[in-house]
Chain A
């Protein structure tokens, strides 16, 4: 089973059309570069070279400058994220409440370091700064969803649950493919 995130992005990918629609909707000059990259990352999940070149051409900005901007800002990423991107908050409040231990636990359990994706494409791990939920420290977000006051056993439970959810999704998708007889995406 290959993961969709690792597949190369081809020029006829329909997401480029969506991106172009956004660019043409009043975002076509160089000063909208950051806004356009936000939209691109929302669509593709990350900003691979193909996408950067596309944006560069559309806005009339040298690709080197696009790369410069992408690598300057924390929010933009060059690596695909997993189906369940796990973000461990290392903000002040969470750090004090043991976020470091939680991060180590995820690293061990998933076998990856921050910035990496598991080989099955299911999980990616990252750290972030205060997500504004300090009262719930330590906080972890999974695809934007906040899990607060996380103990070490909560963290392990969370991973197990996500694995189950993924397996259930896959079974469902498999069933759908079987009935339609079409190709799996």
Chain B
């Protein structure tokens, strides 16, 4: 597939953490253009027309979200979600570690467009080095006059504060992130009100993913028309732009690949080196551990928000996890259920108890003590855990078990029937 990378251009070839190198590649030109020749509202419109969809998982149009900020004179904040903890996902990490100035440029343009003077980057606890890279990049940008007071003499000022979390998956959920940023336990807040109206310190707050914000300079620099043409599936105008896919699991070259939105699942797997010789594809989670599985019949599904949803799953974080015929999916279910029961914040009963029960049920099944009743229990849990809680971690936790039961019941029954053989009724 011929594709000129946008977000990862230069990574692996030149050192983009060096601000001069970044500038030599055209960096900070978009910031100059935005601050010196564009009205804030025009930038918001540009991003709306480009149809930039949030890359943090839900795919909400960024420009539309920005439009929700009330005009009531309260201070406004921008918070970049760099908590990246979805299992299988590590594309934000690459964008932070290898191209930090792109993110900083995006932050300043976004802040300018939304009349914000203070931004935060909430980075996950494990990214200690990432925190250092960002702090240095911010200082380098300050020396060049891109951060701080009166940027490029325009009168616009911007401070960026980096806050490192302390390891908790739930802090990626936007309202939990705000609590954590305020120094508290990262427990999600009840919505509405949404953060755009009542966010950080009770003030209007925009929260966007690292990759979302990293797209902004390119849209400003090249225009929305250019951006909407970046797609491998022109039939669907609702999803476009460059997308980082993190491919892991049973492929020969796992890693991050920047590809156009709408690329076929088949091509994503192919680009990641394909399956190991002699192996057959069993299933794929197209968007991280929280997304239901797709099967080989879906290989020609375009990887964009709408097409993956139509196929019964979600594009999520575009963390493509590939399982071949050597994988025991019950083992995977046990692994995921351990993860979610550990990471549930415990506020909602269906999630706190449900994730715990899923772990117990899969442990039991895996150890050979499962019954037909356990299969029914998994089915019941789907209705009880999804759509009943403060945040969607609960929905995410049952997504894999439910799709396992629906698509591969025989894998579960194999364990159940094994017990029957040992202990005849």
Give A residues with C-beta under 8 Å from B: 30-35, 37-38, 65, 68-69, 72-76, 91-93, 95-96, 128-132, 134-135
Q: Which residue of A lies closest to B129 (CB)?
A: A132
Q: Once the chains bind, are A33 and B88 in contact (CB under 8 Å)?
A: no
21 A–B contacts, CB within 8 A, in A order: A30-B182, A30-B183, A32-B183, A34-B164, A37-B166, A69-B185, A73-B125, A73-B165, A73-B166, A75-B125, A76-B166, A91-B87, A92-B248, A92-B249, A92-B321, A96-B249, A129-B85, A129-B126, A129-B167, A131-B126, A132-B93
B185 touches A38 (CB 8 A): no
Residues of B within 8 A of A35 (CB): 163-164, 183
Is B184 within 8 A of A33, CB to CB?
A: yes
Q: Do residues B87 and A74 form an inter-chain contact, with CB atoms below 8 A?
A: no
Is B248 a contact partner of A134 (Cβ separation < 8 A)? Answer: yes
| B186 interfacial by beta-carbon distance below 8 Å | yes
Chain B: CB-nearest residue to A71? B185
Find out whether the CB atom of B88 lies under 8 angstroms from the CB atom of A92: yes
A129 proximity list for chain B (CB < 8 A): 85, 87, 126, 167
- Docked CA distance A74–B170 (Å): 11
Contact in complex: A33, B183 (CB < 8 Å): yes
**What is the chain A residue whose CB lies nearest that of B168?**
A73
By beta carbon, the residue of chain B nearest A73 is B166
Max chain B Cβ within 10 angstroms of own Cβ: one of A35, A96, A131, A135: A96
CA distance A38 to B162 in the complex (A): 14
Task: Give the complex CA separation of A35 and B183 in angstroms.
Answer: 8
B166:A68 contact, CB within 8 angstroms: no
- B residues whose Cβ falls under 8 Å from a Cβ of A: 85, 87-88, 90, 93, 125-126, 163-168, 180-186, 248-249, 254, 321, 335, 345
Residues of A within 8 A of B165 (CB): 34, 73, 75
Q: Given A73-B186, A134-B248, is A93 in contact with B254 using a C-beta cutoff of 8 Å?
A: yes
Bound CA span A17–B387, Å: 49
Nearest-CB residue, chain B, relative to A65: B184
Most buried by A among B180, B184, B321: B184
B95 to chain A, nearest CB (A): 13
A95: chain B residues at CB < 8 Å are: 335
Of all A-B residue pairs in the complex, the 5 with the closest CB atoms, nearest first, are: A74-B167, A73-B166, A33-B183, A75-B166, A75-B167
Q: From known contacts A74-B168, A76-B166, A130-B90, infer whether A69 and B184 are also in contact, taking CB-CB under 8 Å.
A: yes
* In the complex, chain B residues whose CB is within 8 Å of the CB of A96: 249
Contacts of B181 in A (CB 8 A): 31
- For B166, give its contact among A38, A91, A134 (CB under 8 Å): A38
Q: Which residue of B has the minimal Cβ distance to A96? A: B249
By a CB distance below 8 angstroms, the chain B residues around A75 are 125, 165-167
> Which chain A residue shows the least CB distance to B94?
A132
Given A38-B164, A130-B90, A134-B254, A72:B185 Cβ within 8 A: yes
- B319, closest chain A residue (CB): A92
CA distance A32 to B164 in the complex (A): 11
What 7 new A-B contacts, CB under 8 Å, besides A35-B164, A130-B126? A31-B182, A31-B183, A32-B183, A33-B183, A35-B183, A75-B125, A130-B90
B185 / chain A contacts, CB cutoff of 8 Å: 68-69, 72
Say yes or no: B183 contacts A74, CB within 8 Å.
Answer: no
B125 touches A132 (CB 8 A): no
Cβ-defined contact, A73 with B248, below 8 A? no
Q: Which residue of A lies closest to B327 (CB)?
A: A96
**Residue numbers in A under 8 Å from B254 (CB-CB):** 93, 134-135
Are B168 and A72 neighbours in the complex by a CB distance under 8 Å? yes
Which residue of chain A lies nearest to B170 when distances are taken between CB atoms in the complex?
A72
When distances are taken between beta carbons in the complex, the residues of chain A under 8 Å from B90 are 130, 132, 134
Distance in angstroms between the alpha carbons of A131 and B124 in the assembled complex? 12
> What residues of B have a CB within 8 angstroms of the CB of A72 in the complex?
168, 185-186, 345
Q: How far is the CB of B189 from chain A (nearest CB, A)?
A: 15
How near does chain A come to B351, taking the closest CB pair, in angstroms?
15
In the complex the two chains form, what is the Cα distance from A95 to B321 in whole Å?
A: 14
A30 contact set on B, CB distance < 8 A: 182-183
> Across the interface, do A34 and B183 meet the contact criterion of CB distance under 8 Å?
yes
Bound CA span A112–B356, Å:
25
A31 surroundings in chain B (CB, below 8 A): 181-183
The residues of A that contact B167 with a CB separation of less than 8 Å are 73-75, 129
* Most chain B beta-carbon contacts within 10 A, residue among A30, A69, A72: A72
